[in-house]
Structure 1
């Protein structure tokens, strides 16, 4: 098993002293040759070449002066703790780097090494600021682009800053990132201490009042996981009910205190797998390492929730239904800006649904899907008294629309953040789906359980009577657009691991298998499953 190794404080100091001697600036007679070596080795990278050219090809890391030493120490210290961030340790190995620096004896090798350190610094900065992976290369459903910083600006700022502070601040400065890092360390320690013990081998549901060996296994695992204190009871008692209920609440399960099949499956997930989910969440946090808006909407697809967040505090939350787990219906991930809502909306049926679902029905029975109007290119409602079998998916000349009404597929309101994916948040007449534990049923848009309250919360910043305003529009029965005076960022994300503000770690099922894809890509990039140094 891999080990967590904490470097003694003297390690970095000793390293700095050794490198002061070995990796020093060349004598005056060799300065021109040193700068020429830097120029040659920097020439293949435009940003690095421009940076060194602006400083007359002086070294950034070389020298015995205090600043050069501080830069080297800061970089080596960052590399030494790279695995704490879930970065590939082999790529940022401080001891391997020290060895390479120590053998840079000639003027050319020292100039070459200075440029190499700059490249490694930029790689580290990119991975820590923006993520190791390119999101869209992992999954085509992840549409967001990580916030990649300008490399020349990064170098220029670093050269003028306190190096330790600058490197420390490269990581996302969010409370969530800090809490995830703490959770990662805690899980690593738990793994090193033996994990959570034996899995629960129950084949049937365990209920209050049950006794026996499987109840003891359940009890022991919950004790190891920290959900209950020490106990010698072999009965499914009230203490065990409370522990199971707490576990269920922190894993997005139906909270009933009964250890059914779904609960037991989640209980038996290993701490190593949970650690992988946390590392993935840290990578995802790096993908969103930008201003998200003092007020913003956050949809966690894996949690089936939509929230309004004001200054870091959740001020509104509702259950959500997301896209079904098929290739054409999964809800994508991206960020955009909501600028209006539509009350009493019409449903303009997406072309893919028109030709994929409704055209075959019309070909069998022209009266099918009678709630929908068939519209020609001029916007006129067409008669159903025609032979639809003459059309194919590519030749069907009509669109379809459902007018406002109590049975409208979008319900009474939709919330618009215009985007190329035609995704939005909306009401729905299918209320029963919100009672389910897993809620992946839509065509891709996000359905809200409490859309009216969501609308009131959005409108509260622009009217003294948001409920009265909304209801007056609703009672008209007429489709009406209501602009938001202050557009609000919307982030559609997917987190199987996340924390509450109090630091409580939460886990959710990977309904799309998307986080498994991310973990596989991270592992291929050299991220260690145990996330430790050894």
Structure 2
């Protein structure tokens, strides 16, 4: 005789089995109704004879066929493998004309500057036309083949279109040598979403960029705007590369942050979408400072990014400290190319510039006795140089530090005349600030720490002092050559590092004809 516990277990097991069988039965029924559903939409009698099992065989073969060109084959194959190789996209979208809608969206990719060909738009359009022509597909084998081709083309195109609009066509980390900004890229989870869409139109509308900057540049592209002094071709290409930059998921998400735009030579402190502090900056010297290279004349070799040694990198980090009256630890490259050269010309150069000299870590008491012009390359590596705080210190009276691989920072400078020039790519790579005390006030606010900074900056030869922020402030160093200002007017800047050219060289095969 069964115990009450065993009876309960048996009832639950029976119920579970019933649910499982019911689910399997429902799934089997849905799968077996595929032929009926396709016939209802196409009115082609051939589809009456198709079965899920027959389609699965053909789809498996298509997935392994080298002629089936898929951008993300592993993700696509993994999905169908775990879903019985069913035509999930055709089944969920053919009956409501969503696939015609998809063709319309893909066909308008040129409004984003992208070539509709990269999304197999014409192939999908032609295959759909066959499906809707009740006499075009004549055999079951042909039906299976066309179904498989259409299913995979839609999957591939949806993923590519979604990736392009939400993440950009290019990965900036792969094309730029000095790029250290956190940039989100599509992953298997985001790409697999396209198979589970409840409403295709809602999804397609949701991935269209809605950033006002993007929409303004997009409108200018479609309207064939031409910038005075540029050809139509150059203007269009500048718009295209900056639209791509806007598609990258590397934008600040914080309410408050500092941002430097290298080609604009400007820093803004942004709070809730508005600039509360703006100043001129000087950035690193670039390879295209005289603007001899442009977006009209280039070749495939321009795909290789060859940064000038002093170019300021693109990055994001967190400002965590202000160092007042800093010591400048002079990089070896600058020491070899500049400091030692000047010391060879003038034996008192180092003392006049308040630079201490160290040999193998020990301070040199009489550096003016060293014959700098005759020391060898090997001997040079034994020396290091530190400029002490003072009026001549190249870092000025304060520097703001943030962690980064390039050892760059924001800092004051005694060379104020550079801020009067329109072209301010003049530094060794760090960013010089026009109004460092204002920046310190914006970061620290009123209070003891800011008062200390202001006091020490006003004194001569004070000792180095570090003041840490209570809350770190994000900083972004970016590279944008075209944007809409607050009034909606397009602003264009020179491509001082040639990064537009590098990006366009990679993008051109994906772009709509201009």
TM-score between the two structures when normalised by the length of structure 2: 0.75
Q: 1:353 aligns with which of 323, 329, 334?
A: 334
SS at match of 1:181: helix
**Which residue number in structure 2 is paired with residue 122 of structure 1?**
159
**Which residue number in structure 2 is paired with residue 260 of structure 1?**
none
SS at match of 2:400: strand
Aligned residues of 1:51 and 1:152 also touching (Cα < 8 A): no
Aligned residues of 1:425 and 1:445 also touching (Cα < 8 A): yes
Provide the C-alpha distance between the structure 2 equivalents of 1:177 and 1:167, rounded to a whole number of angstroms: 17
**Which residue number in structure 2 is paired with residue 37 of structure 1?**
58
1:319, CA displacement in angstroms?
0.5
**Which residue number in structure 1 is paired with residue 440 of structure 2?**
455
1:440, CA displacement in angstroms?
1.3
Provide the C-alpha distance between the structure 1 equivalents of 2:46 and 2:178, rounded to a whole number of angstroms: 50
Correspondence 1:132 to 2:169: yes
Provide the C-alpha distance between the structure 2 equivalents of 1:528 and 1:67, rounded to a whole number of angstroms: 28
Structure 1 window deviating more from structure 2 (79-88 vs 135-144): it is 135-144
Provide the C-alpha distance between the structure 2 equivalents of 1:360 and 1:19, rounded to a whole number of angstroms: 85
1:465, CA displacement in angstroms?
6.5
Largest Rg, 1 or 2: 2
Aligned residues of 1:134 and 1:145 also touching (Cα < 8 A): no
**Which residue number in structure 2 is paired with residue 332 of structure 1?**
313
Correspondence 1:176 to 2:229: no
Q: 2:124 aligns with which of 97, 120, 125?
A: 97
Provide the C-alpha distance between the structure 2 equivalents of 1:129 and 1:507, rounded to a whole number of angstroms: 24
Number of aligned positions between the proteins: 434
Alpha carbons of 1:437 and 1:365: their partners in 2 closer, same or farther (altered >3 Å)? Answer: closer
Structure 1 window deviating more from structure 2 (70-79 vs 84-93): it is 70-79
Provide the C-alpha distance between the structure 1 equivalents of 2:473 and 2:96, rounded to a whole number of angstroms: 46
Correspondence 1:446 to 2:431: yes
**Which residue number in structure 1 is paired with residue 454 of structure 2?**
471
SS at match of 1:355: helix
**Which residue number in structure 1 is paired with residue 235 of structure 2?**
274
1:443, CA displacement in angstroms?
0.9
1:503, CA displacement in angstroms?
1.7
Aligned residues of 1:415 and 1:425 also touching (Cα < 8 A): yes
Alpha carbons of 1:32 and 1:158: their partners in 2 closer, same or farther (altered >3 Å)? Answer: closer
Runs (5+) with no aligned partner, structure 1: 1-16, 196-265
1:332, CA displacement in angstroms?
2.0
1:177, CA displacement in angstroms?
1.6
SS at match of 1:369: helix
Aligned residues of 1:293 and 1:488 also touching (Cα < 8 A): no
Aligned residues of 1:322 and 1:445 also touching (Cα < 8 A): yes
1:143, CA displacement in angstroms?
4.5
1:250-280 Cα shifts (integer Å, max 9, x gaps):
xxxxxxxxxxxxxxxx733234422221211
Provide the C-alpha distance between the structure 1 equivalents of 2:97 and 2:411, rounded to a whole number of angstroms: 54
Runs (5+) with no aligned partner, structure 2: 1-37, 65-71, 132-141, 288-307
Aligned residues of 1:337 and 1:417 also touching (Cα < 8 A): yes
1:476-518 Cα shifts (integer Å, max 9, x gaps):
7222222222222222112221112332211112223321332
Provide the C-alpha distance between the structure 2 equivalents of 1:526 and 1:103, rounded to a whole number of angstroms: 28
1:93, CA displacement in angstroms?
5.3
Provide the C-alpha distance between the structure 2 equivalents of 1:19 and 1:99, rounded to a whole number of angstroms: 20
Aligned residues of 2:197 and 2:203 also touching (Cα < 8 A): no
1:392-451 Cα shifts (integer Å, max 9, x gaps):
168521221111112210111112122111121111111111111111111111111111
Alpha carbons of 1:396 and 1:18: their partners in 2 closer, same or farther (altered >3 Å)? Answer: farther
**Which residue number in structure 1 is paired with residue 81 of structure 2?**
53
1:382, CA displacement in angstroms?
5.0
1:27, CA displacement in angstroms?
5.2
**Which residue number in structure 2 is paired with residue 72 of structure 1?**
99
Correspondence 1:528 to 2:512: yes
Q: 1:482 aligns with which of 467, 481, 500?
A: 467
Q: 1:156 aligns with which of 175, 193, 204?
A: 193
**Which residue number in structure 1 is paired with residue 9 of structure 2?**
none
1:101, CA displacement in angstroms?
4.3
Aligned residues of 2:328 and 2:387 also touching (Cα < 8 A): yes
Q: Which has the higher helix share?
A: 2
Structure 1 window deviating more from structure 2 (80-89 vs 288-297): it is 288-297
Aligned residues of 2:124 and 2:150 also touching (Cα < 8 A): no
